[in-house]
Amino acid sequence: MDFSFLSDDRYNLLGAAWMTVQLTFWSAIGSLILGTILAAMRVAPVPLLRGFATVYVNVMRNIPLTVVIIIMWQVLFSQLGLVLATREPGVNPQVYLDTNNFRLAVLGFILYTATFVCESIRAGINTVPVGQAEAARAIGLKFTQVLSVIILPQAFRAVIGPLGSVFIALTKNTTIAAAIGVAEMALLMNTLIENESDSLSAVFVSVAVVFLILTLPVGLLFGWVSKKAAVKR
Amino acid sequence: MSDATAVLYDYPGPKAKVRNNIITVIFLLILAYILWYVYDTLEGKGQLTAAKWEPFLTGDMWTKALLPGIWTTLKAAFISVIIALPIGAVFGIARLSDQAWIRVPAGVVVEFFRAIPVLVLMIFANAVFVTIFGFASALTATVTALVLYNMSVLAEVFRSGILSLPKGQSEAALAIGMSKGQMMSIILLPQAITAMLPAIVSQLVVILKDTALAGIFIGLEELRRAGGAAASSYKNLVPIYIVVALIYIAMNLALTSLASVLEKRGRRRRGGRQTPMLIETEAAVPGLAVDATIASAAPPENKKHL
């Protein structure tokens, strides 16, 4: 296997891996926040909030992520004029385009992954014994307090493992950002395959190793933390 | 919404009713503003005129673009699942083997293909077919990548299905003198497959969605790509993507409801025993049953392998 492309200046394997990490990091943070909000809405006392969150989750998770990401660019950006970066005078316009594409991709990942985070948290809420909520109401806590002080902390501890699976899937899903030109691993791999067709297996091994390094330790970490954090009942 | 959810909040009194109504109105206003903004911008761009929707009433849009796209998507998904199922079963059983030289390699293969993105597998499979075997077939590359990924996911489904069976089943099989192979094929596997049926159908949703990856780089004319191509000739990008998204939602909701029907039937037959696909955390702890569907009908895809 010929790994000489790794030292070629035209290809930036580390840069692409870093881009994958950045996409995953911001999308994970965003989807954790949006997913928690959606889960809270799905158990809220206001019927409209419940209905909206239910429809949102069922619509969003049934559309392929590829379609979501391409809609982000072709519909939200180019048709609806959703621009997420500012064009600085005197700076290479490519920087503006790259930043904009990156943020559109992250927004797309957040909107999609949040539905899976929401469903995991909802499953976690199910594991909390009814008595916890009844006791909380009995001492006069409001819905927001019942949820944020009593239910959600216990629910989160129960779903750390499943959330780990969601975020590992997210790491792999970030390759779809290549569809709108974000310079991450899959886009680099596509370029490498076109230019370096002699070292096909070396290219695949390099890309595979990056993803093994990114996903396997995260899986082990989440598995360990979920055992530590599990609520003993 | 079942009554059980109400355990999180008190029955609304006069003040709470007013507050709930205020929240409802504010939320409606926000939604209405967003919808109006989207409508106004699209209207300004001329994307919502009747002319842009007209192609959907003609035969060409359907027979030349969308229906072939749907057909390719379904074909790729079903071929993949049919090939991936037996291979997945073999790997799942291999991971349970007593022989380390079978168990360990099977485990390595399964963990490897679960860690690699499907898009990466697709690009590689396509390149291998083109440069080494000298033929370009997007469908073959797509199916290869989807089989490699999904056989490893299904291997885990089978493994957990077999492990979830009561221990008495295998003990009884061995006690009446069956061999390990007989025990697996006559006693364990048939029960595991019945229990795993909803999970397998749910995995079809994942496969169906993943076929859209093949339109990005390797050029399979699946639904999304076919729609995109039609959009550039009819100049109606927004209507096409709305229709394409609706078709995906309809196909996947149909599969999801099939999975939940199978799930309910299976649970009834096994006398209320929990299905093994539930994530560990939702085991039979008496919980706040938010509603019965989330523990059971929510597709396993959102738990283990989206």
- Which residue shows structure tokens 């909030």? A49
Question: How many Å apart are CA B85 and CA B200, to the nearest integer?
Answer: 9
**Quick one: pLDDT band at residue B291, thresholds 50, 70, 90?**
very low
B135: phi then psi, degrees, rounded to nearest 5: -140, 140
> Could you tell me if B101 and A171 are in contact, meaning their C-beta atoms sit under 8 angstroms apart?
no
The tens digit of pLDDT for each residue in B161-183 reads 999 899 999 999 999 999 988 99
A6-20, A59-73, B54-68, B143-157: the lowest-pLDDT one: B54-68
**Residues A36 and A121 sit within 8 Å (Cβ to Cβ):** yes
Question: A227-231, B13-17, B100-104, B184-188 — which is least confidently predicted?
Answer: A227-231
Burial A99-122 (b: 16+ CB within 10 A, else e): ebbbbbbbbbbbbbbbbbbbbbbb
Phi, psi (rounded to 5 degrees) for A87: -90, 110
Interface of B with A in 96-135 (CB under 8 A): 111-112, 115-120, 123-124, 127-128, 131-132
pLDDT of residue A86: 86
Radius of gyration (Cα) for chain B, nearest Å? 24
What string of DSSP letters covers chain A? Answer: ---GGGG-TT--HHHHHHHHHHHHHHHHHHHHHHHHHHHHHHT-S-HHHHHHHHHHHHHHTTS-HHHHHHHIIIIIITTT----S---TTS-HHHHHHHHHHHHHHHHHHHHHHHHHHHHHHHHHHHSBHHHHHHHHHTT--HHHIIIIIIHHHHHHHSHHHHHHHHHHHHHHGGGGGGGT--SHHHHHHHHHHH-GGGHHHHHHHHHHHHHHHHHHHHHHHHHHHHHHPPP-
Rounded Cα–Cα distance for residues B160 and B169 (Å):
15
Helix (H) or strand (E) holding B44: helix B14-44
The whole-angstrom distance between B101's CA and the closest CA on chain A is 22
Query: What was the pLDDT predicted at B267?
Result: 76
- The number of beta carbons lying within 10 Å of the beta carbon of residue A209 is 12
Please tell me whether residue B287 adopts helix, strand or coil conformation. Answer: strand
Decide if pLDDT at A151 tops 80. Answer: yes
Distance, in Å, from the CA atom of A13 to the CA atom of A205, rounded to the nearest integer, reads 12
The residue of chain A nearest to residue B291, with distances taken between CA atoms, is: A126
In this structure, chain B runs to a length of 306
pTM for this model (two decimals): 0.88
Question: If pLDDT is split at 50, 70 and 90, which confidence band does A9 have?
Answer: confident
* Chain A closest-CA separation from residue B172 CA (Å): 33
Q: Is B11 on the interface with A (CB under 8 A)?
A: no
Evaluate if residue B281 carries a pLDDT over 60: no
Burial (0-12, 13-18, 19+ Cβ within 10 Å), B194: middle
For B241, the token pair is 């993507």
Assess: ipTM above 0.85: yes
Q: Helix axis angle, A13-42 relative to A200-229, nearest 10°?
A: 40
What are the residues whose beta carbons fall under 8 Å from the beta carbon of B217, sequence distance 6 or more? A178, A186, A190, B119, B122, B123, B126
Q: Considering only B81-90, B165-174, B275-284, which range has the smallest mean pLDDT?
A: B275-284
Contacts of B60 (CB under 8 A, 6+ apart): none
Give A19 to chain B, closest Cα distance, Å.
15
- Closest CA–CA distance from residue B128 to any residue of chain A (Å): 8
Residue in B16, B120, B216 nearest the CB of A207? B120
User: Which alpha helices (DSSP H) does B270-306 contain, by range?
Assistant: 292-296
User: Quick check: B264 pLDDT over 80?
Assistant: yes
- At residue A75's C-alpha, the angle toward residues A112 and A93, to 5°, is 100
Contacts of A172 in chain B (CB under 8 A): 115-118
Band (pLDDT 50/70/90 cuts) for residue B292 is very low
Best CA proximity match to A53, nearest among A68, A41, A36: A41
**Cβ <8 Å between A165 and B303:** yes
Q: What does the pLDDT read at residue B4? A: 52
- Cβ pairs bridging A and B (under 8 Å): 219
pLDDT of B45: 83
Cα–Cα dist B233/A230, whole Å: 55
**Side-chain half-sphere exposure of B278, counting CA atoms within 13 A:** 22
What's the longest Cα–Cα distance across chain B?
77
Exposed (0-12), middle (13-18) or buried (19+): which is A140, by Cβ within 10 Å? exposed
Burial of A50 from C-beta contacts in 10 A (0-12 / 13-18 / 19+): middle
Give chain A positions within 8 Å (CB) of B136. none
Query: In the prediction, which pLDDT does B297 show?
Result: 36
pLDDT at B295 over 50: no
Inform me whether the pLDDT recorded for B293 exceeds 80. Answer: no
Mean pLDDT, rounded, for A99-127: 95
Amino acid at B214: A
Confidence category of residue B305, pLDDT binned at 50, 70, 90: very low
Judged by phi (left if over 0) then psi (alpha if -120 to 50, else beta), residue A149 lies in alpha
Residue that has been written with the tokens 């158990």 in this structure = A43
Tens of pLDDT, residue by residue over B13-32, are: 899 999 999 999 999 999 99
Whether residue B302 and residue A120 make contact (CB cut-off 8 A), yes or no, is yes
Mean pLDDT computed over B248-266: 91
Residue among A227, A99, A75 nearest B242 (CA): A75
Q: Return mean pLDDT, chain A.
A: 92
Amino acid letter, residue A54: T
In this prediction, residues B209-232 reach a mean pLDDT of 92
| Residue, of A196 and B210, whose pLDDT is higher | B210
pLDDT for B287: 37
Answer whether A126 sits within 8 Å of B244, measured CB to CB. Answer: no
pLDDT at A79 over 80: yes
| pLDDT on residue B270 | 64
SS (H, E, C) A36-90: HHHHHHHCCCCHHHHHHHHHHHHHHCCCCHHHHHHHHHHHHHCCCCCCCCCCCCC
Find the helix or strand (DSSP H, E) in which B39 lies. Answer: helix B14-44
- The reply to whether residue A120 touches residue B28, judged by beta carbons under 8 angstroms, is no
Closest CB to B290 among A58, A125, A142 = A125
Between CA A227 and CA B6, with CA A233 as vertex, the angle to 5 degrees is 110
Q: Is B112's CB within 8 Å of A208's CB?
A: yes
**Rounded Cα–Cα distance for residues B295 and A121 (Å):** 12
Which amino acid appears at position A98 of this protein? D
Q: Do B47 and A43 touch (CB under 8 A)?
A: no
Higher pLDDT, B65 or A32: A32
Determine the pLDDT at residue B298: 38
Question: Cα separation of B150 and B118, whole Å?
Answer: 9
Residue type for position A102 = F
